[in-house]
Structure 1
Amino acid sequence: MTTTLITGANKGLGYETARQLIAIGHTVYIGCRDPKRGQDAAQQLGARLVALDVTDDDSVSAAAHLIEEMGGIDVLINNAGVEGRGENNSIIGAEATTAAMMREVFDTNVFGLIRVTHAFLPLLQRSPAPVVVNVSSSLGSLSLAASPDSFTHFYPGVAYPASKSAVNMITVQFAKQFPGMRINAVEPGYTNTDLNGRTGTQTVEEGARIIVEMAQTLPDGPTGGFVSAHGPVPW
């Protein structure tokens, strides 16, 4: 039986990913900052709850220790993320972007991902088929951002795309240095979630599909890639 940990999983893509993985037989831990919301989500899903704030070293260490005592994990899905929108759900452009705002977004999307991955590496290395899925975004693609033919070219925000570009590089570097693991970044698509103020154009069911697919990557499957439901995404 495959055991999976999903960060930021009490709602949105994390919740739906948990639901789909449980349906195909995974044992799923949902990592949540809010114990009440987490408990409600775990009961609805039939998942296991673990208190986990990806921005807090002690919280991440405690979660890793608890899951180690429960038997470990095979799959880690780094899903927790923030976009960092301003007042009235506005996207913050370059002129208004500050170091403090960048730090806040990176603390969850980048440092949080590293914090969790580092803490759970020893458990993943004990699995016969370890998998890491990093939830990224096409907004992190330098190629697409530079192309006027891409819709991402017109996204004015700085912090979120930069954080996802960092996630993509982290994915490549970890995949090279841990060849026994399958480590990939995924682009779920513009999904209707709280992250983007419910402005997404596809459902969470649609968005979660590529995450679920890559969570099932076999030991001889792809690693170090950046993919969507439609195939590879340009770096």
Structure 2
Amino acid sequence: MNERTALVTGANKGIGKHIARLLVAEGFTVHAAARDAERGRLAAEEIGARPLLLDVTDADGIARAASEVGSLDVLVNNAGIALSLAPPAETGLDEMRRTFETNVFAVMAVTNAFLPALRRSPHPRIVNVSSGTSSLTWSTNPNPQFTPGAGSGAAYRSSKTALNALTVFYAQTLAEDGFKVNALAPGLRATDLTARAAAGGDPAEAAEGAVRLALLADDGPTGGFFSWDGTVVPW
């Protein structure tokens, strides 16, 4: 039998750790990527995954990690940061750059580095963990689900909107090679991403949505934005 493999970034805690755990339960050999070697090792040991040292903002580290993974069926770009809840007028350019570096540029760097491994898979899948706060439709609705100031800050929200666009572009350009590339809105979850997130729901529930996208059949959707429960999220 062909052994299925997956890589999850930011897998030592929160939603990423639950995604890795569920993929292990599905029979995948999971590379649980973390930028802290010891925390990554402990988390991987706990869930039965393989630890992979990976700082998604370090080009040399990305190349080194990619050289250690020969083939890959699933890539889950989960690692992300939210530095503040500040609106645009109160957000510094340094915060914008740091946020985009992790939430957008790093996703592109990691995805490109692991594309050769994914191309060896008969059913390659990429899942980008986004945010419902990135939806321009919801934000501009007369009765918006996410009002200005109610969600995460301007840097985080705009970075996730950019990530959505990147998801669509990858889906379009990789469709002929059998890739399914989709974005996930996990909902507000109890993680340490922001103080607001600490009051959220169970991250394991969001992880189920990511795994659903990772296990899509060949006739499944690509270039879509989905909530944790499988419903379509408007761009």
Which bracket does the TM-score occupy, shorter chain normalised?
Answer: over 0.9
1:126 and 1:207 map into 2 onto residues whose CA distance is 28
Pairwise mapping of residues 88-99 of structure 1 onto structure 2 (< 5 A)? Answer: 91-99=85-93
Q: Which residue of 2 aligns with 1:115?
A: 109
Q: Which residue of 2 aligns with 1:66?
A: 68
1:202 and 1:31 map into 2 onto residues whose CA distance is 24
Pairwise mapping of residues 207-218 of structure 1 onto structure 2 (< 5 A)? Answer: 207-218=206-217
1:215 and 1:104 map into 2 onto residues whose CA distance is 28
Does structure 1 conserve the Cα–Cα contact (< 8 Å) formed by 2:191 and 2:200?
no
Q: Which residue of 1 aligns with 2:234?
A: 234
1:141 and 1:131 map into 2 onto residues whose CA distance is 22
User: Aligned residues, how many?
Assistant: 227
Q: Which residue of 2 aligns with 1:88?
A: none
- Code of the residue aligned with 1:201 in structure 2: it is G
Q: Which residue of 2 aligns with 1:199?
A: 198
Q: 1:95 Cα deviation (Å)? A: 2.1
Note the alpha carbon deviations across 1:111-155, whole angstroms, 9 max, x for none.
Answer: 010010010011111110000000001111111111242231233
Q: Which residue of 1 aligns with 2:31?
A: 29
- Code of the residue aligned with 1:187 in structure 2: it is A
Task: State the superposition RMSD in angstroms.
Answer: 1.2
- Code of the residue aligned with 1:186 in structure 2: it is L
Does structure 2 conserve the Cα–Cα contact (< 8 Å) formed by 1:147 and 1:153?
no
2:144 and 2:230 map into 1 onto residues whose CA distance is 15
1:95 and 1:103 map into 2 onto residues whose CA distance is 15
Matched, 1:83 2:82: yes
Matched, 1:146 2:140: yes
Matched, 1:173 2:175: no
Unaligned runs of 5+ in 2: none
SS of residue paired to 1:195? coil
Relative to the length of structure 1, the TM-score reads 0.93
Does structure 2 conserve the Cα–Cα contact (< 8 Å) formed by 1:133 and 1:186?
yes
- Code of the residue aligned with 1:165 in structure 2: it is T
- Code of the residue aligned with 2:104 in structure 1: it is V
Note the alpha carbon deviations across 1:47-67, whole angstroms, 9 max, x for none.
Answer: 001110000100000000011
2:92 and 2:114 map into 1 onto residues whose CA distance is 32
Q: 1:230 Cα deviation (Å)? A: 4.6
Q: Structure 1 pair 200/218, CA: closer, same or farther in 2 (3 Å)?
A: farther
Relative to the length of structure 2, the TM-score reads 0.93
Percent identical: 44
Does structure 2 conserve the Cα–Cα contact (< 8 Å) formed by 1:132 and 1:181?
yes
Task: Report runs of 4+ in structure 1 exceeding 4 Å deviation.
Answer: none
Q: Structure 1 pair 176/191, CA: closer, same or farther in 2 (3 Å)?
A: same
Does structure 2 conserve the Cα–Cα contact (< 8 Å) formed by 1:192 and 1:203?
yes
1:115 and 1:210 map into 2 onto residues whose CA distance is 24
SS of residue paired to 1:50? strand
Does structure 1 conserve the Cα–Cα contact (< 8 Å) formed by 2:209 and 2:230?
no
- Code of the residue aligned with 1:60 in structure 2: it is I
Does structure 1 conserve the Cα–Cα contact (< 8 Å) formed by 2:10 and 2:79?
yes
Matched, 1:128 2:112: no
